[in-house]
Amino acid sequence: MPKKRVRLAQRVVSESDRVAETLAARFREAGVWVANLMSSPGSGKTTLLEETARRLGSDLRLGVIEGDLATDRDAARIRRTGVPCHQINTGGGCHLSAQQVAEALDHFDLARLDVLFIENVGNLVCPAEFYLGERRRVVLASTPEGDDKPVKYPVAFHHADCVVLNKVDLLDATGFSLEAFRGYVHGVKPGVPILELSCRTGQGLDAWLDWVRAERRAAAK
Amino acid sequence: MPKKRVRLAQRVVSESDRVAETLAARFREAGVWVANLMSSPGSGKTTLLEETARRLGSDLRLGVIEGDLATDRDAARIRRTGVPCHQINTGGGCHLSAQQVAEALDHFDLARLDVLFIENVGNLVCPAEFYLGERRRVVLASTPEGDDKPVKYPVAFHHADCVVLNKVDLLDATGFSLEAFRGYVHGVKPGVPILELSCRTGQGLDAWLDWVRAERRAAAK
Residues B171 and B139: beta-carbon distance below 8 Å: no
**Which of B97, B142, B152 is facing A69, going by the closest CB pair?**
B152
Distances (CA, A) of B209 to A82, A112, B98: 48, 57, 26
* Amino acid of residue B79: R
Tell me what pLDDT residue A97 has: 97
Q: Work out the angle between the directed axes of helices A45-56 and A205-220 (0-180°, nearest 10).
A: 70
Tell me what pLDDT residue B2 has: 41
SS3 A21: helix
Per-residue pLDDT tens over the stretch B41-98: 999 999 999 999 999 989 999 999 999 999 999 999 999 999 999 999 999 999 999 9
In B160-219, where do the E strands start and end? 162-166, 194-196
- Written as tens digits, the pLDDT of chain A (221 aa) is 344 555 666 666 688 899 999 999 999 999 999 999 999 999 999 999 999 999 998 999 999 999 999 999 999 999 999 999 999 999 999 999 999 999 999 999 999 999 999 999 999 999 999 999 999 999 999 999 999 999 999 999 999 999 999 999 999 999 999 999 999 999 999 999 999 999 999 999 999 999 999 999 999 88
* Count of CB atoms situated within 10 Å of the CB of B182: 16
CA–CA separation, B175 vs A181, rounded Å? 25
CA–CA separation, A19 vs A11, rounded Å? 13
Cβ distance of B122 and A152 shorter than 8 Å: yes
Residues B64 and B119: beta-carbon distance below 8 Å: yes
Residue A71 C-alpha, separation from nearest chain B C-alpha, in angstroms: 6
Confidence class for position B15, pLDDT limits 50, 70, 90: confident
The angle formed by the CA atoms of residues B157, B136 and B180, to the nearest 5 degrees, is 30
CA–CA separation, B181 vs B184, rounded Å? 5
Q: Which residue of B has its CA nearest to A127?
A: B94
Tell me what pLDDT residue A193 has: 98
The angle formed by the CA atoms of residues A196, A81 and A86, to the nearest 5 degrees, is 95
Tell me what pLDDT residue A1 has: 39
Which residues share a beta bridge with B173?
none
Cβ distance of A42 and B170 shorter than 8 Å: no
Per-residue pLDDT tens over the stretch B118-147: 999 999 999 999 999 999 999 999 999 999
Cβ distance of B73 and A167 shorter than 8 Å: no
Residues B86 and B66: beta-carbon distance below 8 Å: yes
Cβ distance of B149 and A5 shorter than 8 Å: no
| CA-wise closest residue to B113 among B65, B68, B178 | B65
Residue A132 C-alpha, separation from nearest chain B C-alpha, in angstroms: 14
- Substitution target from B18, B126, B159 for chain A, most A beta carbons within 10 A: B126
Residues B105 and B29: beta-carbon distance below 8 Å: no
Confidence class for position B3, pLDDT limits 50, 70, 90: very low
CA–CA separation, B38 vs B155, rounded Å? 12
Residue A218 C-alpha, separation from nearest chain B C-alpha, in angstroms: 32
Residue B216 C-alpha, separation from nearest chain A C-alpha, in angstroms: 30
Tell me what pLDDT residue A2 has: 41
Tell me what pLDDT residue B220 has: 87
- Substitution target from B4, B19, B88, B94 for chain A, most A beta carbons within 10 A: B94
Tell me what pLDDT residue A10 has: 66
In A27-122, where do the E strands start and end? 33-38, 62-68, 85-89, 115-119
| CA-wise closest residue to A145 among B59, B88, B85, B141 | B141
Tell me what pLDDT residue A179 has: 98
For the beta sheet containing B194-196, the strands, ordered from the edge strand earlier in sequence to the opposite edge, are B85-89, B62-68, B115-119, B33-38, B136-142, B162-166, B194-196
Cβ distance of A1 and B167 shorter than 8 Å: no
Cβ distance of A4 and B12 shorter than 8 Å: yes
Tell me what pLDDT residue B25 has: 98
Q: Which residue of B has its CA nearest to A10?
A: B5
Residue B35 C-alpha, separation from nearest chain A C-alpha, in angstroms: 21
Tell me what pLDDT residue A8 has: 63
Cβ distance of A9 and B12 shorter than 8 Å: no
CB-based burial label for B116 (10 Å; 0-12, 13-18, 19+): buried
Contacts of A5 in chain B (CB under 8 A): 8-9, 12
